[in-house]
Protein backbone atom coordinates (compact mmCIF):
# COMPACT_ATOMS: atom_id res chain seq x y z
CA UNK A 1 0.00 0.00 0.00
CA UNK A 2 1.17 3.51 -0.76
CA UNK A 3 1.63 5.92 2.13
CA UNK A 4 -1.42 8.24 2.30
CA UNK A 5 0.55 10.88 4.17
CA UNK A 6 3.00 11.17 1.29
CA UNK A 7 0.85 10.63 -1.80
CA UNK A 8 -2.48 11.75 -3.18
CA UNK A 9 -4.31 9.78 -5.83
CA UNK A 10 -5.37 11.51 -9.06
CA UNK A 11 -7.17 9.40 -11.68
CA UNK A 12 -5.34 6.36 -10.36
CA UNK A 13 -1.91 8.05 -10.29
CA UNK A 14 0.05 8.37 -7.04
CA UNK A 15 1.38 11.92 -6.81
CA UNK A 16 3.73 13.20 -4.07
CA UNK A 17 1.76 15.64 -1.91
CA UNK A 18 4.76 17.90 -1.43
CA UNK A 19 4.34 19.37 -4.93
CA UNK A 20 0.83 18.27 -5.98
CA UNK A 21 -2.52 19.36 -4.55
CA UNK A 22 -6.21 19.52 -5.49
CA UNK A 23 -5.55 23.14 -6.52
CA UNK A 24 -2.50 22.37 -8.66
CA UNK A 25 -4.47 19.71 -10.52
CA UNK A 26 -7.42 22.07 -11.02
CA UNK A 27 -4.90 24.57 -12.42
CA UNK A 28 -3.71 21.90 -14.85
CA UNK A 29 -7.25 21.03 -15.91
CA UNK A 30 -8.12 24.68 -16.63
CA UNK A 31 -4.74 25.58 -18.10
CA UNK A 32 -4.91 27.43 -21.43
CA UNK A 33 -2.23 25.93 -23.65
CA UNK A 34 -0.80 28.37 -26.21
CA UNK A 35 0.05 27.24 -29.72
CA UNK A 36 3.71 28.14 -29.26
CA UNK A 37 4.10 26.30 -25.92
CA UNK A 38 6.66 23.50 -26.02
CA UNK A 39 6.20 20.52 -23.71
CA UNK A 40 8.84 18.01 -22.68
CA UNK A 41 6.94 14.97 -21.44
CA UNK A 42 8.65 12.22 -19.51
CA UNK A 43 8.06 9.34 -17.17
CA UNK A 44 9.97 10.36 -13.98
CA UNK A 45 13.76 9.86 -14.09
CA UNK A 46 13.94 9.82 -17.89
CA UNK A 47 15.61 13.18 -18.59
CA UNK A 48 13.22 15.89 -17.35
CA UNK A 49 15.86 18.08 -15.70
CA UNK A 50 18.02 17.72 -18.80
CA UNK A 51 15.16 19.03 -20.97
CA UNK A 52 14.61 21.91 -18.53
CA UNK A 53 18.22 22.88 -19.27
CA UNK A 54 18.02 22.32 -23.03
CA UNK A 55 14.71 23.90 -24.03
CA UNK A 56 14.95 27.49 -22.68
CA UNK A 57 18.17 28.38 -24.55
CA UNK A 58 16.94 26.66 -27.73
CA UNK A 59 13.77 28.75 -27.56
CA UNK A 60 15.44 32.09 -26.83
CA UNK A 61 18.25 32.22 -29.38
CA UNK A 62 20.93 30.53 -27.27
CA UNK A 63 20.85 32.88 -24.27
CA UNK A 64 22.10 30.98 -21.20
CA UNK A 65 21.02 33.61 -18.65
CA UNK A 66 17.87 31.78 -17.56
CA UNK A 67 19.65 28.46 -17.00
CA UNK A 68 22.32 30.27 -14.99
CA UNK A 69 19.97 32.35 -12.83
CA UNK A 70 16.56 30.62 -12.50
CA UNK A 71 16.00 27.25 -10.80
CA UNK A 72 14.89 24.54 -13.21
CA UNK A 73 11.42 24.24 -11.59
CA UNK A 74 10.64 27.91 -12.35
CA UNK A 75 12.41 28.10 -15.71
CA UNK A 76 10.48 25.19 -17.27
CA UNK A 77 7.79 24.36 -14.69
CA UNK A 78 5.87 21.12 -14.28
CA UNK A 79 2.31 21.65 -15.48
CA UNK A 80 0.89 19.51 -12.67
CA UNK A 81 2.90 20.91 -9.76
CA UNK A 82 2.08 23.69 -7.30
CA UNK A 83 4.71 26.10 -8.74
CA UNK A 84 2.88 26.17 -12.09
CA UNK A 85 0.14 28.54 -10.91
CA UNK A 86 2.78 30.89 -9.50
CA UNK A 87 5.10 31.08 -12.47
CA UNK A 88 3.59 29.77 -15.72
CA UNK A 89 1.33 32.73 -16.46
CA UNK A 90 4.28 35.09 -16.09
CA UNK A 91 6.71 33.17 -18.33
CA UNK A 92 7.47 34.88 -21.65
CA UNK A 93 6.43 32.94 -24.74
CA UNK A 94 7.44 30.59 -26.20
CA UNK A 95 7.19 28.75 -22.88
CA UNK A 96 9.05 25.54 -22.07
CA UNK A 97 6.85 23.36 -19.87
CA UNK A 98 7.52 19.87 -18.54
CA UNK A 99 5.05 17.21 -17.49
CA UNK A 100 4.94 13.63 -16.22
CA UNK A 101 1.25 13.32 -17.10
CA UNK A 102 -0.15 10.44 -19.08
CA UNK A 103 -1.62 11.58 -22.42
CA UNK A 104 -5.32 11.40 -21.50
CA UNK A 105 -4.73 13.56 -18.40
CA UNK A 106 -3.45 16.55 -20.35
CA UNK A 107 -5.75 19.60 -20.14
CA UNK A 108 -8.56 19.86 -22.74
CA UNK A 109 -6.94 22.97 -24.25
CA UNK A 110 -3.84 20.92 -25.10
CA UNK A 111 -5.81 18.75 -27.52
CA UNK A 112 -7.21 21.78 -29.35
CA UNK A 113 -3.85 23.56 -29.54
CA UNK A 114 -0.89 23.28 -31.92
CA UNK A 115 1.58 23.08 -29.02
CA UNK A 116 4.51 20.75 -29.67
CA UNK A 117 5.69 17.87 -27.51
CA UNK A 118 9.08 16.28 -27.12
CA UNK A 119 8.57 12.88 -25.53
CA UNK A 120 11.71 11.51 -23.89
CA UNK A 121 12.04 7.81 -23.08
CA UNK A 122 14.81 6.06 -21.16
CA UNK A 123 15.60 2.39 -20.70
CA UNK A 124 13.19 1.43 -17.89
CA UNK A 125 15.94 -0.56 -16.20
CA UNK A 126 17.99 2.60 -15.78
CA UNK A 127 14.83 4.54 -14.88
CA UNK A 128 14.19 2.23 -11.96
CA UNK A 129 17.80 2.40 -10.72
CA UNK A 130 17.65 6.20 -10.84
CA UNK A 131 14.25 6.19 -9.13
CA UNK A 132 15.46 3.79 -6.42
CA UNK A 133 18.22 6.25 -5.45
CA UNK A 134 15.84 9.19 -5.71
CA UNK A 135 13.47 7.46 -3.26
CA UNK A 136 16.39 7.06 -0.85
CA UNK A 137 17.39 10.73 -0.94
CA UNK A 138 13.92 12.37 -1.10
CA UNK A 139 12.07 12.42 2.24
CA UNK A 140 8.75 13.13 0.46
CA UNK A 141 8.80 9.73 -1.26
CA UNK A 142 8.17 6.30 0.22
CA UNK A 143 11.17 4.33 1.44
CA UNK A 144 11.88 2.09 -1.56
CA UNK A 145 12.85 -0.98 0.52
CA UNK A 146 15.28 -3.36 -1.16
CA UNK A 147 15.93 -3.07 -4.89
CA UNK A 148 13.92 -6.28 -5.44
CA UNK A 149 10.98 -4.91 -3.44
CA UNK A 150 11.12 -1.63 -5.34
CA UNK A 151 11.13 -3.53 -8.65
CA UNK A 152 7.87 -5.24 -7.67
CA UNK A 153 6.27 -1.88 -6.86
CA UNK A 154 7.54 -0.38 -10.12
CA UNK A 155 6.24 -3.26 -12.23
CA UNK A 156 2.83 -3.20 -10.56
CA UNK A 157 2.58 0.59 -10.94
CA UNK A 158 2.51 1.33 -7.20
CA UNK A 159 4.96 4.19 -7.66
CA UNK A 160 4.49 7.86 -8.54
CA UNK A 161 2.94 8.30 -12.00
CA UNK A 162 2.11 4.59 -12.13
CA UNK A 163 3.38 2.14 -14.74
CA UNK A 164 6.21 3.00 -17.13
CA UNK A 165 4.59 0.89 -19.87
CA UNK A 166 1.23 2.70 -19.56
CA UNK A 167 2.95 6.08 -19.72
CA UNK A 168 4.98 5.23 -22.80
CA UNK A 169 2.05 3.62 -24.60
CA UNK A 170 -0.26 6.50 -23.73
CA UNK A 171 1.96 8.93 -25.66
CA UNK A 172 2.14 6.81 -28.83
CA UNK A 173 -0.44 8.93 -30.58
CA UNK A 174 -0.35 9.04 -34.39
CA UNK A 175 -3.08 11.71 -34.26
CA UNK A 176 -0.52 14.15 -32.85
CA UNK A 177 1.26 13.94 -36.24
CA UNK A 178 4.10 16.44 -36.51
CA UNK A 179 3.22 17.95 -33.12
CA UNK A 180 5.25 15.25 -31.36
CA UNK A 181 8.89 14.22 -31.56
CA UNK A 182 10.26 11.13 -29.83
CA UNK A 183 13.79 11.03 -28.48
CA UNK A 184 15.61 8.79 -26.03
CA UNK A 185 17.88 9.63 -23.13
CA UNK A 186 20.41 7.25 -24.66
CA UNK A 187 20.47 9.18 -27.96
CA UNK A 188 21.13 12.37 -26.00
CA UNK A 189 24.06 10.69 -24.24
CA UNK A 190 25.48 9.45 -27.52
CA UNK A 191 25.12 12.59 -29.59
CA UNK A 192 23.74 15.58 -27.70
CA UNK A 193 24.55 18.04 -30.48
CA UNK A 194 22.78 15.86 -33.05
CA UNK A 195 19.66 15.59 -30.88
CA UNK A 196 19.62 19.33 -30.19
CA UNK A 197 19.87 20.01 -33.94
CA UNK A 198 16.88 17.71 -34.50
CA UNK A 199 14.92 19.50 -31.76
CA UNK A 200 15.69 22.88 -33.36
CA UNK A 201 14.45 21.61 -36.73
CA UNK A 202 11.31 20.18 -35.10
CA UNK A 203 10.63 23.55 -33.46
CA UNK A 204 11.36 25.47 -36.66
CA UNK A 205 14.21 27.38 -35.04
CA UNK A 206 17.85 28.05 -35.81
CA UNK A 207 21.00 28.75 -33.82
CA UNK A 208 24.47 29.62 -35.05
CA UNK A 209 27.01 26.79 -34.77
CA UNK A 210 28.78 28.68 -31.96
CA UNK A 211 25.57 29.25 -29.99
CA UNK A 212 24.63 25.59 -30.38
CA UNK A 213 28.09 24.54 -29.18
CA UNK A 214 27.66 26.72 -26.09
CA UNK A 215 24.27 25.18 -25.27
CA UNK A 216 25.61 21.66 -25.79
CA UNK A 217 28.56 22.35 -23.53
CA UNK A 218 26.34 23.88 -20.87
CA UNK A 219 24.03 20.82 -20.92
CA UNK A 220 26.68 18.16 -20.37
CA UNK A 221 26.28 16.13 -17.19
CA UNK A 222 29.56 17.47 -15.79
CA UNK A 223 28.47 21.10 -16.20
CA UNK A 224 24.88 20.59 -15.06
CA UNK A 225 26.15 18.87 -11.93
CA UNK A 226 27.88 22.09 -10.85
CA UNK A 227 24.97 24.36 -11.82
CA UNK A 228 23.18 25.24 -8.56
CA UNK A 229 20.12 26.22 -10.58
CA UNK A 230 19.77 22.64 -11.80
CA UNK A 231 21.43 20.25 -9.36
CA UNK A 232 18.79 20.55 -6.61
CA UNK A 233 21.27 21.68 -3.95
CA UNK A 234 18.99 24.72 -3.42
CA UNK A 235 16.39 22.35 -1.94
CA UNK A 236 16.81 22.04 1.86
CA UNK A 237 18.54 18.84 2.93
CA UNK A 238 15.50 17.74 4.96
CA UNK A 239 13.60 17.29 1.67
CA UNK A 240 16.40 16.16 -0.62
CA UNK A 241 19.58 14.81 0.88
CA UNK A 242 22.17 15.10 -1.87
CA UNK A 243 24.68 13.52 0.53
CA UNK A 244 22.70 10.26 0.50
CA UNK A 245 22.58 10.29 -3.29
CA UNK A 246 23.04 13.33 -5.53
CA UNK A 247 20.03 14.18 -7.73
CA UNK A 248 22.40 14.29 -10.71
CA UNK A 249 23.74 10.90 -9.74
CA UNK A 250 25.65 9.13 -12.55
CA UNK A 251 24.06 10.26 -15.80
CA UNK A 252 24.94 7.13 -17.74
CA UNK A 253 23.25 4.30 -19.64
CA UNK A 254 23.56 0.73 -18.44
CA UNK A 255 23.99 1.29 -14.70
CA UNK A 256 21.15 -1.26 -14.30
CA UNK A 257 23.73 -4.01 -14.90
CA UNK A 258 25.13 -3.22 -11.43
CA UNK A 259 21.73 -3.80 -9.78
CA UNK A 260 19.86 -6.55 -11.62
CA UNK A 261 20.58 -10.21 -10.92
CA UNK A 262 20.08 -12.46 -13.99
CA UNK A 263 16.79 -13.68 -12.43
CA UNK A 264 15.50 -10.16 -11.79
CA UNK A 265 16.52 -9.12 -15.30
CA UNK A 266 14.59 -12.05 -16.81
CA UNK A 267 11.49 -11.27 -14.75
CA UNK A 268 11.61 -7.52 -15.46
CA UNK A 269 12.18 -8.02 -19.20
CA UNK A 270 9.34 -10.54 -19.46
CA UNK A 271 6.82 -8.22 -17.76
CA UNK A 272 7.81 -5.19 -19.85
CA UNK A 273 7.80 -7.20 -23.10
CA UNK A 274 4.37 -8.66 -22.34
CA UNK A 275 2.90 -5.24 -21.61
CA UNK A 276 4.48 -3.66 -24.71
CA UNK A 277 3.22 -6.46 -26.99
CA UNK A 278 1.35 -5.18 -30.01
CA UNK A 279 2.55 -1.62 -29.51
CA UNK A 280 5.06 -1.73 -32.42
CA UNK A 281 7.53 0.44 -30.51
CA UNK A 282 11.17 -0.56 -30.80
CA UNK A 283 13.72 0.95 -28.46
CA UNK A 284 17.52 0.86 -28.83
CA UNK A 285 17.80 -1.11 -25.58
CA UNK A 286 15.43 -3.87 -26.79
CA UNK A 287 18.36 -5.39 -28.71
CA UNK A 288 20.68 -5.53 -25.66
S1 LIG B 1 12.77 13.78 -12.31
O2 LIG B 1 12.81 13.58 -10.82
O3 LIG B 1 11.70 13.01 -12.94
O4 LIG B 1 12.72 15.21 -12.66
O5 LIG B 1 14.17 13.19 -12.81
P6 LIG B 1 14.77 13.37 -14.29
O7 LIG B 1 15.39 14.70 -14.40
O8 LIG B 1 13.76 12.97 -15.30
O9 LIG B 1 15.89 12.25 -14.30
C10 LIG B 1 17.04 12.32 -13.52
C11 LIG B 1 18.11 11.49 -14.21
O12 LIG B 1 18.58 12.20 -15.36
C13 LIG B 1 20.00 12.33 -15.24
N14 LIG B 1 20.49 13.54 -15.93
C15 LIG B 1 21.45 13.52 -16.88
N16 LIG B 1 22.11 12.48 -17.44
C17 LIG B 1 23.05 12.77 -18.38
N18 LIG B 1 23.37 14.03 -18.75
C19 LIG B 1 22.73 15.10 -18.22
N20 LIG B 1 23.08 16.33 -18.60
C21 LIG B 1 21.70 14.85 -17.24
N22 LIG B 1 20.89 15.64 -16.49
C23 LIG B 1 20.15 14.82 -15.71
C24 LIG B 1 20.22 12.37 -13.74
O25 LIG B 1 21.57 12.19 -13.41
C26 LIG B 1 19.30 11.22 -13.31
O27 LIG B 1 19.80 9.94 -13.70
P28 LIG B 1 20.74 9.01 -12.79
O29 LIG B 1 20.81 7.71 -13.52
O30 LIG B 1 20.08 8.90 -11.45
O31 LIG B 1 22.09 9.70 -12.74
Tens-digit pLDDT profile for residues 136-192: 999 999 999 999 999 999 999 999 999 999 999 999 999 999 999 999 999 999 999
Whether residue 257 lies inside any domain: the answer is yes
The pLDDT score that the predictor gives to residue 13 is: 97
Supply the range of the domain harboring residue 262. 26-131+162-287
Residues in the chain: 288
Q: Pairing between strand 180-184 and 116-121?
A: parallel
If one residue of 219, 251, 253, 255 were mutated to test the ligand 1 pocket, choosing by the most ligand atoms within 8 A of its CB, it would be 251
Whether residue 148 lies inside any domain: the answer is no
Strands (E) in 29-184, as ranges, are 38-42, 96-99, 116-121, 180-184
Q: What's the 250 CA to ligand 1 centre distance in angstroms?
A: 8
Whether residue 144 lies inside any domain: the answer is no
Q: Whose CA is nearest to atom 23 of ligand 1?
A: 50
What span, in angstroms and rounded, lies between the C-alpha atoms of 283 and 219? 24
What span, in angstroms and rounded, lies between the C-alpha atoms of 249 and 59? 27
Whether residue 211 lies inside any domain: the answer is yes
Q: Whose CA is nearest to atom 9 of ligand 1?
A: 45
Q: What is the mean pLDDT of residues 44-62?
A: 98
Q: Whose CA is nearest to atom 16 of ligand 1?
A: 251
What span, in angstroms and rounded, lies between the C-alpha atoms of 42 and 256? 19
Burial class (CB within 10 angstroms; exposed 0-12, middle 13-18, buried 19+) of 73 = buried
What span, in angstroms and rounded, lies between the C-alpha atoms of 80 and 28? 6
pLDDT of 1 above 70: no
DSSP helix/strand/coil, 140: coil
* Residues classed as catalytic: 100
Q: Whose CA is nearest to atom 18 of ligand 1?
A: 221
What span, in angstroms and rounded, lies between the C-alpha atoms of 65 and 56? 10
pLDDT of 59 above 70: yes
Q: Whose CA is nearest to atom 20 of ligand 1?
A: 221
Whether residue 238 lies inside any domain: the answer is yes
Whether residue 48 lies inside any domain: the answer is yes
Over residues 92-130, the pLDDT tens digits come to 999 999 999 999 999 999 999 999 999 999 999 999 999
**Closest ligand 1 atom to 49 CA:** 7
CB 144 within 8 A of CB 150: yes
**Closest ligand 1 atom to 250 CA:** 31
Number of domains in the chain: 1
The CATH code of the domain that includes 182 is 3.40.50.300
Residues 82, 101, 190, CA angle at the centre, nearest 5°?
A: 110
283 Cβ contact partners less than 8 Å away, ≥ 6 residues apart: 121, 123, 184
Over residues 165-180, the pLDDT tens digits come to 999 999 999 999 999 9
The pLDDT score that the predictor gives to residue 4 is: 80
Is-cis flag, bond preceding 94, omega within 30? yes
pTM for the model stands at 0.98
Ligand 1 — pocket residues by CB below 6 A?
42, 44-50, 126, 130, 133-134, 219-221, 224, 248-251, 255
The pLDDT score that the predictor gives to residue 287 is: 73
Q: What's the 49 CA to ligand 1 centre distance in angstroms?
A: 6
Whether residue 104 lies inside any domain: the answer is yes
Closest C-alpha to 270, from 122, 125, 120, 102: 125
pLDDT of 14 above 60: yes
If one residue of 18, 50, 119 were mutated to test the ligand 1 pocket, choosing by the most ligand atoms within 8 A of its CB, it would be 50
Whether residue 149 lies inside any domain: the answer is no
CA distances from 178 to 33, 50, 76, 174, 204 (A): 17, 23, 22, 9, 12
Alpha helices in 70-146 (DSSP H): 72-75, 83-87, 108-112, 124-137
Q: What are phi and psi of 14, to 5 degrees?
A: -80, 125
Closest C-alpha to 208, from 95, 57, 97: 57
Over residues 229-282, the pLDDT tens digits come to 999 999 999 999 999 999 999 999 999 999 999 999 999 999 999 999 988 888
Closest C-alpha to 227, from 85, 54, 95, 13: 54
Q: Give, as one character, the DSSP assignment of residue 61.
A: T
**160 beta partners:** 14
Amino acid sequence: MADNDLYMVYHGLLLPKIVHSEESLKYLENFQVKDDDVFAVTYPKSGTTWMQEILPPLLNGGDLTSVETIPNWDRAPWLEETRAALVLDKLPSPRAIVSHMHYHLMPPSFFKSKAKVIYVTRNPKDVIVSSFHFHQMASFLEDPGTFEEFTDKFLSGKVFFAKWTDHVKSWQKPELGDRIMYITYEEMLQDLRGVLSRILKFLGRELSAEALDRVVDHCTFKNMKTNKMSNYTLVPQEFMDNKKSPFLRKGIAGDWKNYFSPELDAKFTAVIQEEMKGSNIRFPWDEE
